[in-house]
Chains A and B, each alone.
Chain A
Amino acid sequence: MTSLPPPATKKLGLVIDLDTCVGCHACAVACKEWNDGGDFGPLPDADPYGAEPHGVWFNRVHSYAVEPGIGNRESGMGKAPRSTPLSTASAIPHSPFPIPGAQAQTVHFPRSCLHCETPACVTVCPTGASYKRAEDGIVLVDADKCIGCQLCSWACPYGAREYSVERGTMQKCTLCVDRIYNETLDEIDRQPACVMACPTRARHFGDLGDAESAVSKLVAERDGYALMPEFGYAPVNRYLPPRPRRGGCGDTSPHPDPLPGGDREKSGDAEFSGVLRWLDRVLSR
């Protein structure tokens, strides 16, 4: 039934900490491994060891450089504004690898199904293969009913669904429904594979419908946000924004200047030296 169930009190989902994610892709690999052999598997690949491997992954980790613009500088750096942003700086002219601005931060961004409360991927399904569980809100695909029309993947703005050419059906994150209720596993292991694998504990699993749950508290404490809420699909998963950068960390001063004869003077760091600079950094926190 692709009509949505009535709103449930239990909303199982993930909370992903963009501050601590280091972009190691362990979650993606653990996900692929578990789901290849899990109840919803396999996840076959085309040309897996060849030149152009191609296959379904439920979890994809993007890496972004986030550069504060002029007048948009966060985190109390307290530096004088530069005349030009460093985003265009490059050691080699026309290099495809521009050196990020000195204050740019790297944000690794794992992307997977958000198990929306009102997902369009479910309502567009013509067969009833795509459904949202009434009891815990997990969005699943019944591979035995899916006709492979791929309309659900078009309806998802988050790219959560990938079509398996090998199987002829759509596949997506199951929130490891075959782990989290699996009584053959130790209780501590009844969590999604991605959460178990994360070496920096950047992924948290729990009930986001319960305001007293650990994940809900974490979201409240860290101002967790939903992705692209304007679509109205009400994602359950939350992302925790990167914490404000502490002054000096990753700044121009501890590193060699990216530009030969660069603009250290302009950056304002040159005013201080030695102990004073250290003091400035400490006080800037």
Chain B
Amino acid sequence: MRPTFSIICFTVLSGMGYGAWFLLGLGYAIGPRCEPHRFGAGGVSAMQCGEPFLTHAGFLLASALTCAGLLCSLGHLGKPQRAWRALSQWRSSWLSREGVLALLTFMPAAWLLAREIAMPFVAIRSSPEWMPIFEWSSNVSFHSRLSGFALAVGSLATVYCTANIYASLKPVRAWHDRHVVPAYLLLSLYSGGILLLASGAIWVRGNWMLLAGVIVLSIAGAWLKHRYWRAIDALPAPYAGHATGLSSFGEVRSFEAPHTEENYLTHEMGFVLARKHARKLRRIALVLAFLVPGVLALLALVVPAIGVPAAWLALASGVPGLFVERWLFFAEAKHAVMAYYAR
């Protein structure tokens, strides 16, 4: 399959954004209770509590990546102005479900984001008669836990739908594989964790849980991708005899293609470049996406002083690594129709 840049951007960036949203949502939902500060004369931020994953920069960055990823997905459409129609067929289509959940998840995210960042900002400048509204809105114990829970569930469900868009396609054997959905979910969480680490490190909190989580997920991610690659290497290649139903007559060999030039099918589904360099690219993906961030997180855990540069380096290595991983996910997959073309 042709690795289209817009789809790679979409799956990597929005996967990262939703993964971070899941962790943030979890932080709100089950994190330690925090006492909202009264908006006093000093006007300090309302949320000066020690919730484990909670950072303003992380939330903003995750939201920006989610939006960027979703906008990239529009770039793949022939008629992006009709994208709203994709919300209609959630009963049958994973793509439609993904669109619906992606937008629904924006509701708790927007609510939390507004309360986190905008409200204290406005509160400082607003007159006292507005205060009751802000006090209600900063009723952390209930509203934020509920919104956090909705954010976590919605984010996970969105990534689950994204993975199933690919996993449900039987003609692409490498995608119709049991490793695909777990890998999408795991890599989303993992990359979200790296993102929060990088953004949270600026606020310097002792978030050892996040570091430990990134280490565990980097090992699990590398192991899962290794298993996946072994599984797809063992798949039999589609062949013309089977596709034409003529194998009982003998060996079927294509001697003349239907067209002399490329067509949509050969262009979109006959991508062969990756298979040549697969081994090398897989190693690059493993090192950049999993090994380097995992080792850096381990170092940061042992030596907290290097936490900030380590987190940024992990992000700088992890994102290109995930792009290579996702490029391979598309480029290595063979479509059943290519059997007719004997490619």
Contact: A163 with B264, CB < 8 Å?
Answer: yes
CB contacts (< 8 Å) of B130 on chain A: these are none
Task: From B86, B242, B256, give the contact of A228 (CB < 8 A).
Answer: B242
| A197 contacts partner chain B, Cβ-Cβ < 8 Å | no
Contact: A62 with B336, CB < 8 Å?
Answer: no
CB distance from B242 to the nearest CB of A (A): 7
CB contacts (< 8 Å) of A150 on chain B: these are 76, 78, 268
Which residues of B in the span 177-200 have a Cβ within 8 Å of any Cβ on A? none
Contact: B249 with A154, CB < 8 Å?
Answer: no
Contact with A along B62-99 (1 / 0, CB 8 A): 00000000000000111110110111110111111001
Contact: A154 with B335, CB < 8 Å?
Answer: yes
Given the interface pairs A53-B261, A62-B257, the reply to whether A126 lies near B85 with Cβ below 8 Å is yes
Contact: A146 with B249, CB < 8 Å?
Answer: no
Interface of A is mostly: loop
Given the complex of chains A and B, what is the CA–CA distance between A33 and B258 in angstroms?
17
CB distance from B342 to the nearest CB of A (A): 9
Contact: A169 with B79, CB < 8 Å?
Answer: yes
Given the interface pairs A107-B244, A169-B78, the reply to whether A60 lies near B249 with Cβ below 8 Å is no
Contact: A2 with B244, CB < 8 Å?
Answer: no
Task: From A64, A129, A228, A242, give the contact of B255 (CB < 8 A).
Answer: A64
Contact: B255 with A123, CB < 8 Å?
Answer: no
Given the interface pairs A146-B79, A163-B264, A227-B244, the reply to whether A66 lies near B249 with Cβ below 8 Å is yes
Contact with B along A103-134 (1 / 0, CB 8 A): 01111010100000000101111111100000
Contact: B85 with A107, CB < 8 Å?
Answer: no
B338, closest chain A residue (CB):
A159
Contact: A126 with B93, CB < 8 Å?
Answer: yes
Contact: B265 with A157, CB < 8 Å?
Answer: no
Given the complex of chains A and B, what is the CA–CA distance between A100 and B251 in angstroms?
11
Contact: B79 with A155, CB < 8 Å?
Answer: no
Contact: A123 with B93, CB < 8 Å?
Answer: yes
- Among B99, B259, B268, which residue has the most Cβ atoms of chain A within 10 A? B259
CB contacts (< 8 Å) of B94 on chain A: these are 124
| A178 contacts partner chain B, Cβ-Cβ < 8 Å | no
Given the complex of chains A and B, what is the CA–CA distance between A148 and B83 in angstroms?
9
| B126 contacts partner chain A, Cβ-Cβ < 8 Å | no
| B171 contacts partner chain A, Cβ-Cβ < 8 Å | yes
| A24 contacts partner chain B, Cβ-Cβ < 8 Å | no
Given the complex of chains A and B, what is the CA–CA distance between A227 and B336 in angstroms?
12
Contact: B78 with A168, CB < 8 Å?
Answer: yes
Which residues of B in the span 285-343 have a Cβ within 8 Å of any Cβ on A? 335-337, 340-341
Contact: A159 with B337, CB < 8 Å?
Answer: yes
Task: From A74, A111, A127, A231, give the contact of B258 (CB < 8 A).
Answer: A111
A-B residue pairs in contact (CB < 8 Å), sample of 8: A57-B259, A60-B258, A62-B254, A104-B250, A145-B82, A147-B82, A163-B264, A228-B242
Add 7 more A-B contacts to A54-B263, A65-B252 (CB < 8 A): A3-B92, A64-B253, A69-B251, A100-B255, A151-B93, A165-B78, A232-B170
